[in-house]
Structure 1
Amino acid sequence: MKSKDLSELALLAAIWGASFLFMRLGAHEFGPLAMAALRVGGASLFLLPILAARQGLGELLREWKPLLVVGLLNSAIPFALYAYAALSITAGLSSILNATTPLWGALVAWIWLSQGLNASRLSGLALGFAGVVFLAWDKASFKPGGSGWAILACLVATLCYGIAANYTKRYLAKVSPLTVATGSQVSAAFMLAPLAAWQWPAQLPSAQAWTSVALLAVLCSGIAYILYFRLMQRVGPTNTIAVTFLIPVFAVLWGYLFLAEAFTLHMAAGCAIVLLGTALAVGLLRLPLPAPKPA
């Protein structure tokens, strides 16, 4: 990748790493559904005028059906699930679980698109999911007060991301990144609005919570998705998805600086296992092959 692409990749990781911080700061006051709805609604208001100024509304209307699917799988469901997870687990742990997205992407591509997986990639899938089990082993209690449902919510969210990435590659490859970003947020906003009205908080949230939602909407959704879909078009999905490796670094850093969250040795080991498995699963690393026997 060019230096410009690498810089944008690092910027995207820093922004998305901060999204876990903002969810922790606002989810308790807004609730998961209202927070997710405000996030995509604010992103829509930010992106629609930009798309209109670039004469892209026609393309958005033509591609509304696949954009509806991407909005559901890439925004509506995962945003609500991550906001729910933010109620009980740290930003660092959520971001590490988010790093399983490429594992799901590779698995979905194998099952749905018949994309071949060699021994190295299959080993990466097994190792990556073993890392998730290692992380969740002493935390995944489904009793009241446990974090089992939050961990499961993160994994379902990353599965949705994996399906959405393959769906976008198959059905929206020729659509402009700005149209995909805008259409996904607008469609997600329409889907989440009734649920947000149903679960709207009884007490007015604080200024800190509103600021967190605003930053989630404009920075972590509007601007971030422009960067994401532009990078996907420019350097391909495999290279773009490498952003997943950097997100936990920034999420842990922001969580430590602003929320005083601890990063334990257990989390570090689990993170290393997940990221190593992910690198193998997407082909960034390969297991050494045995030398051929002489004839």
Structure 2
Amino acid sequence: MRARPDSTARDVPPMTPVNIVQLTILAALWGASFLFIRIGVSDFDVAPLMALRVGIGALFLLVVLIIRRPLRESIDTLKRRAWPLVVVGVLNSAAPFCLFAYAELTLSAGVTSVINATTPLWGALVAFVWLKDRLSTLRSIGLAIGFAGVLMLVWDQIVAPSSGTVATPATTALAAAAALGATLLYGIAASYTKRHLMGVDALTVATGTMIGATVVLLPLAIAQWPAAPISLHAWTSVLGLGIGCTGIAYMLYFHLIAVAGPARAMTVTFVIPLFGILWGALFLGERVSAGMLAGCAVILVGTALSTGVVKRLPGFGARGGATAAAADKR
């Protein structure tokens, strides 16, 4: 990165009304991904569903890349950066997508979308450990608050499991651990991208990583392809995941990074759980408990503090820490 994350945020232009609408659409799309995973994973199983998701997304993004960039230049860049693109494809797509799909065999779409909001917490922690980004006292408190919110959320699910699942405390905890593992991988992917893919345009990164994820997941998908017929609802969910929640959403996300900056684009994290809970309740009849909402609120407060969206607390002093250390993850 050409400058420290703290300094880049100061040069970001304000969000326009059009950007705010785009951000809301992006949150709705990514919130819907948890709904589509919940619908499709029981028919497809984990690896086939996610291989189709990244494969369709890769095809969509590859077409856009060919339209927008000279073909020879795009191919040369993908070849030269093949290994880092595959690594990020695994860390940022293949592995976390599969972990979320596994989690949704037990957890509801709404709950997994809330756990996804811990991504910036991991991003800040990994950047502190790996890239030595400064982590102020206020941001450290935010990390503790955010993870306390996860514990509240998991406890709520143990006490009252999601409808339609036969969940024990152990399976619920394992599913939550899988979802948290997915967000940890997002945080690692962000720091790895800073180290190894800076200077590569966002569209090429998105396309290359999706191709890499597809290559990695394809053998697993073939080996685990379901023998039973797959329902129309499941196929519809695959198309929604691949085209809407991956291809279109990634394009929209990188557009927001370009026009409004990574710190502003990162705020989509705060809106995704609202749509995740809404879609799950509307289309799947998922339970929305007071404990779940409380856990969501605590996680979002912790995220706001740890990422520097909230820079000062009353009586805490003027220096709230770095503003965007984890700003490059969803």
Q: TM-score, normalised by structure 2?
A: 0.84
State the secondary structure of the residue aligned to 1:209.
Answer: helix
Residue by residue over 1:99-153, the C-alpha shift from the partner in whole angstroms, topping out at 9 and shown as x without a partner, is 0000000001111111111111010001001111111125459958831221111
Between the aligned residues of both structures, percent identity stands at: 52
User: 1:121 is aligned with what amino acid?
Assistant: R
Residue in structure 1 matched with residue 212 of structure 2 by the alignment: 187
Residue in structure 2 matched with residue 261 of structure 1 by the alignment: 286
| CA-based RMSD | 1.9
Structure 2: stretches of 5+ with no match in the other structure? 1-13, 160-166, 319-330
Cα separation, 2, equivalents of 1:248 and 1:275: 9
Within a 5 Å distance, the mapping from 1:5-24 to structure 2 comes to 5-24=19-38
Q: Paired residues, what number? A: 292
**Cα drift, residue 31 of structure 1:** 0.3
Within a 5 Å distance, the mapping from 1:216-255 to structure 2 comes to 216-255=241-280
CA contact (8 A) 2:122 2:187 kept: yes
CA contact (8 A) 1:76 1:189 kept: yes
Residue in structure 2 matched with residue 174 of structure 1 by the alignment: 199
Choose from 96, 99, 106 the match for 1:81. Answer: 99
Choose from 29, 33, 45 the match for 2:59. Answer: 45
Residue by residue over 1:53-77, the C-alpha shift from the partner in whole angstroms, topping out at 9 and shown as x without a partner, is 2223332222212211110111000
Cα separation, 2, equivalents of 1:191 and 1:276: 36
The yes-or-no answer on 1:288 pairing with 2:322 is no
Residue in structure 1 matched with residue 136 of structure 2 by the alignment: 118
The yes-or-no answer on 1:137 pairing with 2:155 is yes
CA contact (8 A) 1:181 1:222 kept: no
Residue in structure 2 matched with residue 199 of structure 1 by the alignment: 224
Cα separation, 1, equivalents of 2:195 and 2:265: 16
Structure 1: stretches of 5+ with no match in the other structure? none
Cα separation, 2, equivalents of 1:222 and 1:291: 43
**Cα drift, residue 205 of structure 1:** 0.7
Change (3 A) 1:289 1:60: farther
Residue in structure 2 matched with residue 57 of structure 1 by the alignment: 75
Residue in structure 2 matched with residue 159 of structure 1 by the alignment: 184
Runs of 4+ residues over 4 Å off in structure 1: 140-145
Residue in structure 1 matched with residue 163 of structure 2 by the alignment: none
- Mean Cα deviation higher: 229-238 or 70-79: 229-238
Cα separation, 2, equivalents of 1:100 and 1:140: 19
Cα separation, 2, equivalents of 1:234 and 1:166: 22
State the secondary structure of the residue aligned to 2:171.
Answer: coil
Residue in structure 2 matched with residue 101 of structure 1 by the alignment: 119
User: 1:236 is aligned with what amino acid?
Assistant: G
Residue in structure 1 matched with residue 45 of structure 2 by the alignment: 31
User: 1:17 is aligned with what amino acid?
Assistant: G
Change (3 A) 1:102 1:212: same
Cα separation, 2, equivalents of 1:241 and 1:2: 12
Residue by residue over 1:154-177, the C-alpha shift from the partner in whole angstroms, topping out at 9 and shown as x without a partner, is 000000111112222333232122
Q: TM-score, normalised by structure 1?
A: 0.93
Change (3 A) 1:138 1:248: closer
Residue by residue over 1:210-252, the C-alpha shift from the partner in whole angstroms, topping out at 9 and shown as x without a partner, is 1100110011111111122332344333322211100011111
